[in-house]
């Protein structure tokens, strides 16, 4: 049975937006309805349990068994009121997405019936038989014991009939097997290192918090058209497809009116997200046709990252109700923009002072500059591993693609902050750092005008940009777990802050004032970074590649090679000193990364070859045969080829392209066979890196065929059909 492309396109065009009834309540009334948040804790827990639990959450105290039982019994009450029948530990293994294993609440009551049970032990710990999650050889399968343990800083939530308990996932021997554990360790590391410094400025500071605000980009395609594209279904991206005549060149999609069907989907998504306590704030069309974005109000990094994972699941489920499929792949379509996930990152004290924003007086500005400069230094020292932290087989298609940051990490400061840093190098260390008031009410020598929030980067070519009150890590891929990037960033910043504090203490011991000691410690750092990691120019330009190399920044473009940055002596020192990863974990994670890279490319290559042989060549041959018949008839009737040059030329072209497709498919198959015999994850990944290039080469003759073959015969929905939602 062949697909009727036209039928599919007509049907998708005719679909109407689903009516989504507006909730009868205000958003504030149902926000967090499905979350066991502090309000629910107060309602369902006895005062003693409540107090003990809040100690765990706020101060990181371990959860004892009695408290766990108390919490579980309160939670059970709440869950049963909400018709919950199952519980699951919800965790983030090193695959994409999240994992869950549902257990019913029922137990036999010994009298022939069942009762609902839920106690502290099932809240706190589970042992999923999780031997097939990637672990890079940490757990030999014979002792395939990994366990999940509740992370009380992430609130428990209800999805459908299931109580979901956010957990870390660790090996029996203590190594992290997930994204959450190292993220939490890195938050602690950066928080402690930062708090030490903050206390010099304000002794009331107990804790520094790490914030994340993600911006999730995604594509929507019609589910019927999607189902007719094996490449999209299996790999998440189109492996072939000629460019549509109209793409994004008119810029008419960006911030345009949201199409009705999409708006209905977004509305439902927002309601569900709000119910789960996810404060979605913005939604808009993105640059490419069918591309959209949403962002929440930022929050504590660990929770905000959980929420991003949750939203990604939610999107997939809800989109289907509206006849769409969500594409979270970084580059689902060639020739138009791909999708990223900007991670807006900042630190702030528990006294309410943001550390990545200028303050109200000279001391607060000095504190801001201390953190600002040290973040930049951390990014400079570890630019290679930061890049590795966002690298993946899928993000590789997006980076450096003239739409996204290049495969070089640099930092954008904006004109104002660049000028401030240069000025600091010139002025005496006791110069107070003043802020110019809104109306040019300037005082002091170094000024940070308040309008500098608007003065920050709009050109979008920088992978790490200062945007007024935060840094925006823009190189993160749309399908990624933000934790990969944040963990590395936090660890790098923590290490730099530790070093800075040491150097600062030396200056303070000399009897200098805090102002002078800080400035004297900052100056040599500023001198090192200002013309190295700091770059305000066009990151897409050719010259930048050369310039970056000259500056000694990491310019590696091969993804499997990039991963090696995780195990260099500098990286190992940084991660172990901050307690974020052990050396064993780093090695194991690289194994996993190489293996995932290999498998992704392997799957794409297989799908590509199958489609070339089963879809493309037969369609092209059918057309060629028809042309041959026409020419042959023409020749019989007219006694020659005069008057059918077009057909003859087409036959030649198509024939040549079919040969090319066939040859390239065969050579890729052989390359795969050779690659599969290689020992070692790295070696295999490198071989598959070469195969990734072959996939693009095989694509070329296929896309050419799409240009020539009769539209009626083409067996796959085309870009122009996939990309425009009515
Ligand atoms: P833009 O597209 O201009 O970057 P958006 O509004 O789409 O802006 O997204 C900005 C994101 O940055 C939001 O998630 C927002 O909550 C987050 N954000 C704002 N301030 C901070 C901050 N100080 N720390 C972390 N994230 C922040
Ligand atoms: Mg942004």
pLDDT tens string 58-75: 888 888 999 999 999 999
pLDDT interval class at 50 (50, 70, 90): very high
Positive or negative, the CA dihedral 702, 708, 711, 712 is negative
Distance 322 CA to ligand 2 centre (A): 28
Give the residue carrying structure tokens 């107060």. 42
Instruction: Give the separation between CA 51 and CA 457, rounded to whole angstroms.
Output: 45
pLDDT tens string 645-656: 999 999 999 999
pLDDT at 289 over 90: no
42 Ramachandran zone, left/alpha/beta (phi>0; psi -120 to 50): alpha
pLDDT (mean) for 552-575: 96
**Which domains are assigned to the chain?**
31-178 (3.10.20.70), 185-437+447-581 (3.30.590.10), 597-722 (1.20.120.1560)
3-class SS at 168? strand
pLDDT of residue 439: 38
pLDDT interval class at 594 (50, 70, 90): very high
pLDDT of residue 726: 57
pLDDT interval class at 589 (50, 70, 90): very high
Most trustworthy range by pLDDT among 136-140, 237-241, 249-253: 237-241
pLDDT of residue 414: 86
Q: What is the dihedral of CA 591, 597, 600, 602, to 10 degrees?
A: -90
Closest atom of ligand 1 relative to the 345 alpha carbon: 25
pLDDT of residue 386: 98
pLDDT interval class at 24 (50, 70, 90): confident
Query: pTM of whole model > 0.85?
Result: yes
Give the residue carrying structure tokens 């005719």. 14
Pocket lining: 282 vs ligand 1, CB cutoff 6 Å = yes
pLDDT at 141 over 70: no
pLDDT (mean) for 611-630: 97
Pocket lining: 308 vs ligand 1, CB cutoff 6 Å = no
pLDDT at 22 over 80: no
Pocket lining: 261 vs ligand 1, CB cutoff 6 Å = no
Distance 346 CA to ligand 1 centre (A): 10
pLDDT of residue 96: 78
Instruction: Give the separation between CA 41 and CA 592, rounded to whole angstroms.
Output: 39
pLDDT (mean) for 145-152: 87
pLDDT tens string 291-324: 999 999 999 999 999 999 999 999 999 999 999 9
DSSP type of residue 682:
H
pLDDT interval class at 11 (50, 70, 90): confident
Give the residue carrying structure tokens 């019913």. 104
* DSSP, residue by residue, 527-552: HHHTTTTB--S-TTSHHHHHHHHHHT
Query: Which of 215, 255, 455, 474 to mutate to test ligand 1, by most ligand atoms within 8 A of the CB atom?
Result: 215
**Whole-number average pLDDT of the chain:** 90
Pocket lining: 215 vs ligand 1, CB cutoff 6 Å = yes
pLDDT interval class at 405 (50, 70, 90): low
pLDDT interval class at 440 (50, 70, 90): very low
pLDDT (mean) for 543-571: 95
Residue 140: CB atoms within 10 A of its CB come to 9
Range name among 51-65, 187-201, 607-621 with the lowest pLDDT average: 51-65
pLDDT at 131 over 80: no
Distance 411 CA to ligand 2 centre (A): 14
Distance 530 CA to ligand 1 centre (A): 25
pLDDT of residue 6: 87
Asked if residue 555 lies in contact with residue 383, where contact means CB atoms within 8 angstroms, the answer is no
pLDDT of residue 553: 96
pLDDT (mean) for 191-209: 97
pLDDT of residue 254: 66
Instruction: Give the separation between CA 168 and CA 164, rounded to whole angstroms.
Output: 13
pLDDT of residue 441: 40
Distance 300 CA to ligand 1 centre (A): 13
Query: What percentage of the chain reaches a pLDDT higher than 70?
Result: 92
Q: What is the gyration radius of the CA atoms in the chain, in angstroms?
A: 28
Give the residue carrying structure tokens 């929507």. 220
pLDDT tens string 78-105: 999 999 999 999 999 998 789 888 888 8
Query: Which of 298, 299, 469 to mutate to test ligand 1, by most ligand atoms within 8 A of the CB atom?
Result: 298
Q: From the DSSP assignment, how many helices (H) and strands (E) are in the chain?
A: 24, 19
pLDDT of residue 221: 95
CA within 13 Å, CB half, 260: 8
Take atom 17 of ligand 1 and give the residue whose Cα is closest. 213
Residue 224: CB atoms within 10 A of its CB come to 17
pLDDT interval class at 599 (50, 70, 90): very high
pLDDT interval class at 210 (50, 70, 90): very high
> If residue 667 lies in a helix (H) or strand (E), which one and from where to where?
helix 645-676
Query: Which of 190, 208, 213, 462 to mutate to test ligand 1, by most ligand atoms within 8 A of the CB atom?
Result: 213
pLDDT of residue 165: 95
pLDDT tens string 335-392: 888 999 999 999 999 999 999 998 888 899 999 999 999 999 999 999 999 999 999 9
Take atom 11 of ligand 1 and give the residue whose Cα is closest. 213
Strands 208-222, 146-150: parallel, antiparallel or unpaired by DSSP?
unpaired
pLDDT at 702 over 80: yes
pLDDT (mean) for 507-516: 97
């Amino acid at each position: 049975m062949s697909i009727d492309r036209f039928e599919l396109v007509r049907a998708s065009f005719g679909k109407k937006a689903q009516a989504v009834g507006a909730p009868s309540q205000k958003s504030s009334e149902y926000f967090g309805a499905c979350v066991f948040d502090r309000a629910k804790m107060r309602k369902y827990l006895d005062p003693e349990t409540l107090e003990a639990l809040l100690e765990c959450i706020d101060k990181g105290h371990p959860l004892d068994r009695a408290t766990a039982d108390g919490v579980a019994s309160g939670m059970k009450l709440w869950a049963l009121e909400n018709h919950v029948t199952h519980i699951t530990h919800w965790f983030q293994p090193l695959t994409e997405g999240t994992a869950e294993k549902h257990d019913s609440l029922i137990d036999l009551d010994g009298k022939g019936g069942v009762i609902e049970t839920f106690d502290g032990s099932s809240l706190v710990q589970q042992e999923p038989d999780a031997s097939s999650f990637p672990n890079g050889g940490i757990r030999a399968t014979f002792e395939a014991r990994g366990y999940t343990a509740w992370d009380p800083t992430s609130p428990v939530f209800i999805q459908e009939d299931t109580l979901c308990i956010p957990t870390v996932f660790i090996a029996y021997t203590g190594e992290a097997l997930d994204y959450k554990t190292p993220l939490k360790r890195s938050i602690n590391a950066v928080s402690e290192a930062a708090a030490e410094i903050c206390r010099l400025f304000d002794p009331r500071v107990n804790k520094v918090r790490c914030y994340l605000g993600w911006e999730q980009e995604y594509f929507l395609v019609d589910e019927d058209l999607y189902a007719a594209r094996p490449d999209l279904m299996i790999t998440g991206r189109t492996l072939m497809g000629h460019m549509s005549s109209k793409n994004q060149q008119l810029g008419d999609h960006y911030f345009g009116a949201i199409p009705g069907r999409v708006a209905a989907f977004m509305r439902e998504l927002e309601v569900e997200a709000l119910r789960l306590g996810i404060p979605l704030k913005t939604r808009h069309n993105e640059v490419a046709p069918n591309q959209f974005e949403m962002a929440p109000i930022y929050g504590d990094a660990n929770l905000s990252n959980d929420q991003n994972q949750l939203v990604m699941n939610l999107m997939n489920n809800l989109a289907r109700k509206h006849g769409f499929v969500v594409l979270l792949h970084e580059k689902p379509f060639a020739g138009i923009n791909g999708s990223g996930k900007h991670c807006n990152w900042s630190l702030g004290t528990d006294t309410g002072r943001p550390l990545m924003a200028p303050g109200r007086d000279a001391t607060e500005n000095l504190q801001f500059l201390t953190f600002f400069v040290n973040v930049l230094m951390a990014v400079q020292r570890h630019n290679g591993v930061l890049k590795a932290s966002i690298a993946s087989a899928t993000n590789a298609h997006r980076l450096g693609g003239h739409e996204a940051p290049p495969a070089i990490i640099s930092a954008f400061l904006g004109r104002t902050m660049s000028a401030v840093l240069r000025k600091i190098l010139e002025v005496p260390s006791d110069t107070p750092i003043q802020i110019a008031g809104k109306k040019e009410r300037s005082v002091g020598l170094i000024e940070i005008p308040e309008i500098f929030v608007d003065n920050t980067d709009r050109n979008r070519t920088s992978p790490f940009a200062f945007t007024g009150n935060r840094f925006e890590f823009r190189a993160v891929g749309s399908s990624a777990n933000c934790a990969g990037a944040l963990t590395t960033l936090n660890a790098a910043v923590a290490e730099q802050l530790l070093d800075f504090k040491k150097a600062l203490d030396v200056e303070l011991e000399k009897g200098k004032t805090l102002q002078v000691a800080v400035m004297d410690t900052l100056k040599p750092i500023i001198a090192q970074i200002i013309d190295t990691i700091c770059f305000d120019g066009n990151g897409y330009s050719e010259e930048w590649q050369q310039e970056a190399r000259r500056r000694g920044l990491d310019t590696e473009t091969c993804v499997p090679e990039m991963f090696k940055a995780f195990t260099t002596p500098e990286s190992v020192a940084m991660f172990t000193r901050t307690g974020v990863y052990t050396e064993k974990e780093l090695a194991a994670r690289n194994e996993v990364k190489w293996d995932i890279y290999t498998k992704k490319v392997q799957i794409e290559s297989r799908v590509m070859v199958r489609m070339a042989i089963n879809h493309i060549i037969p369609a092209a041959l059918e057309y060629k045969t028809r042309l041959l018949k026409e020419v042959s008839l023409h020749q019989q009737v007219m006694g020659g080829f005069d008057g059918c040059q077009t057909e003859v030329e087409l036959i030649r072209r198509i024939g040549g392209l079919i040969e090319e497709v066939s040859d390239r498919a065969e050579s890729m198959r052989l390359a795969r066979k050779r690659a599969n015999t290689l020992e070692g994850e790295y070696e295999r990944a490198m071989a598959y890196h070469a195969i990734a290039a072959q996939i693009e080469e095989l694509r070329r003759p296929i896309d050419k065929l799409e240009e020539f073959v009769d539209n009626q015969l083409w067996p796959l929905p085309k870009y122009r059909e996939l990309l425009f939602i009515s």
